[in-house]
Amino acid sequence: MARKQTHNELEAVYVISVAAALSGMHPQTLRIYERRGLIEPFRTPGGPRRYSDADLERLSLIQDLTSQGINIEGVKRIMRLEAENEALRNEVRRLRRRMKVIEEAAVLAAQESQRPYRTEILVRRDIMGLPDLPG
């Protein structure tokens, strides 16, 4: 039976030598960054690493930060804070969308409360003992 491919698996197309060449790094550097927890390439069922474009962007950021003199632990912290910041931005966007829906519902409710209400009461004449109305 064929195994369904995951999103990460479909995006991770570069073997380590190609990812290293594209990022301008040595393959061993990529392995070190993986061991240090800076990058997590997809692993095929046989074990070889596969890198995606997102991984290459991450490697570029790592290279940028380390070239500025930031050590690996500093890079990890910066990347963790950036991920946390992005998650918070997403949460703010989600809450703003939700707030907009709530505000729209409140406006509709306020408009509804300004309308005069017409009340109708349905009565079963047989139960109430009322005479039938002429036809």
pLDDT at res. 1: 44
Other CB atoms within a 10 A radius of the CB of residue 47 amount to: 6
Cβ pair 19, 30 in contact under 8 A: yes
Answering whether pTM is above 0.75, one says: no
pLDDT by residue for the chain (135 residues), tens only, comes to 444 455 565 688 899 999 999 999 999 999 999 999 999 999 988 889 999 999 999 999 999 999 999 999 999 999 999 999 999 999 999 999 999 999 999 888 888 777 776 667 676 767 767 777 776
Residue corresponding to tokens 């930031």? 70
pLDDT at res. 35: 94
pLDDT at res. 115: 73
Other CB atoms within a 10 A radius of the CB of residue 29 amount to: 16
pLDDT at res. 8: 60
pLDDT at res. 109: 84
